[in-house]
Structure 1
Amino acid sequence: MTHPTIPFIDLKSQFSALEPQIRERMDRVLAHGQYILGPEVTELEEQLADFVGVTHCYGVASGTDALQIALMALGVGPGDEVITVPYTWISSAETIALVGARPVFVDIQPDTWNMDPTQLEAAITERTRAIMPVGIYGQPADMAAVNAIADRHGLLVVEDAAQSLGSTHHGKRAGGLGTIGCTSFFPSKPLGCYGDGGALFTDNPDLAQRMKQIRNHGQAKKHHHPILGINARLDTLQAAVLLAKLEVFDQEIDQRQTVASHYARALSGSSIKAPQVANSNTSVWAQYTVLSDDREALKERLKAEGIPSVNYYAVPMHRQPVFADLGYQAGDFPVSEHVADHCLSLPMSPALTASQIDHITSTLVARAD
């Protein structure tokens, strides 16, 4: 029996379910014509601040812009060091370098694949200014441990919640777990728009004001630019899409967790390693990523059954040519390298049907041992 190809991330089904709400929201923008910083942007910021549980939220043009603006608002620059992980998308390290600071890497935990707090203090120097933990694949890092270390050393914490918005750590939402939280609305994210987009979160009013100015050329009021900024405003049309999607986001998170539970049950006892969620966390399952000792063969066999898969972050940051001058070598971060060499992300979407899940899991188990 030939199975139809399963979407890796099913945005078409999501749009079909939400089309009336999305079109209504977008039509309002087309009618009023305020395409830059229109009323939908402010409405979205207010709803997201309430959702995350912080006092300030500002929409920006991308998750990468959010990270860069956060570092700029904190005054991170040349001569500073910022600690992050090598197993992540390049934006985490890229933005540190773009503001003139030096990325410093620490390895990840072997179970959650997030920053290992036990390695943090050894990486702190007199030049360390901030720590940037990443919530990989949908769950936060051990932010309680990271914040405690940061507090002891007088450091700032930029939470990269590009994949973890909607998850929790000790009951508190991702995005609100550091000095500044950053997220992305790239279309494939659990809460995604139809282009690039992102947001910043904080409880600090001074940082909030700086971030608001930086995203709009450093402008405090018309024709008055007291600080340097960039052009990083969230488009009003993207805000309209996000407002429609935010209405069902909690429901979609529940559906993602149901899909993840099916995967976990199917992989129990298999040689394929399923992802682990820390006891203090919930996950929004931005990706469902497994480890396999025979990844390439498994990937090809899944493909033959119409099941797409992706090996994300196959080359960790410390092995990227752009960061060669940092002086890291292969073997410096063994957990990151092991995960990079063995990881495979499976289809994950709230719209996955029971039959699709059964087909994926039966293929996985059949090929696993």
Structure 2
Amino acid sequence: MKKNRKDLGTVFIIVILLLMALSIITLASLSSPRSLSDSNGKDALHFVNLQGMWFVLGIIVFFGVSKIDYKKYRKKWFSNGLYSIGAILLVAVLVIGQSVNGAKRWFQLGPIRVQPSEFAKIFLILALAGCIDRISKSSKKKYRNKIKSKKMRDLSLLKGVGLYTGLYLILILFEKSFSSMLQIFILGFVLLFVSGFNLGWFSVITGVGFFGAFDIAIQAGYRSKRIQDFIANITLKSEPPYQTKQSLIAIGSGKFLGRGYGGSIQKYYFLPEIHTDYIFSGYSEEMGFIGVLLLIALYLALVIVIIITIGKARDFFAKYILTGILVMISTQIIGNIGVVSGLVPSTGIPLPLMSYGGSTTIALMISLGIVYNIIKSIYEQEEETIEEFEYEM
């Protein structure tokens, strides 16, 4: 069993390190023009050095978090404390955060930007997992009648999940970060579903949530314009927006084998943010279809390890945490590729462990550290069970 634990955990770490290495290699090429411009021609590796620093810090955070027993997050004061910190940060960024293009999403700490909404996602996952776990257990103890127990449980779940998710949604709405808002909504939505909530009421909430999200999306002028451009593009009534057009040119010009490492043309200011939200486009241009297959294979491996861990976990609290983290990672991967491919309206979504950025890297490594701790815990429990069985034999 130790071998199995080592294998699954090792695969998990290797995939993370490979993605980091691929990010550094890609950034070294794609970010060089911007780095030279920002440093007056002195440093072509400015963004590579910064991302390398974030990755080193992320690895330290990963192993630090992996040593914290995930069961500690079950304690109400612990998970609620983290959730409260997230809420305070989201309020603070609205008051003292830096405003960029009318949106307040970041704290500016010298040369470093911190985006609280990235950390709020993992805090929300832990709070929701604890909330659902507590309600499920207390309902069984409090009500012996199964029908009454189920009704009261559903009511408590709706209230609890709604309050936790709703507060973050409102705060992020004021930040004008629709992508983060949508991700927060999906997290609450999925965790409510896997909790065993009444399917009838769940369908109603799904409809209300969909129309609510659409209404919010079209309220802001810039978001409405993006949606209109997207609809016009897919109906062939107009050309795609500039960024989408340049992104598609980059992806298409990569063909099967790519232009070759360092051969990107779009990085020379044709495609803005090619080292952040549009890194997939630049990577596709240089590495081609073969390179894209490699990247997707690494993401699939990461997702599969988490899915296997969910299947192995006996503790529903662990399952809820893992499901939330799986949703958080997969929505970012799908969302980013969807945006750069023109399949969904343009919005800022980083590609996990590939895009340049400190907040998203550290937040993701925190969540992956929690996953690794659960992997270790599952196999330690299995080893203890086998040892007890062998002792009895």
TM-score (norm 2): 0.30
More strand by share: 1
Which structure has the highest helix share of the two? 2
Return the TM-score normalized by structure 1. 0.31
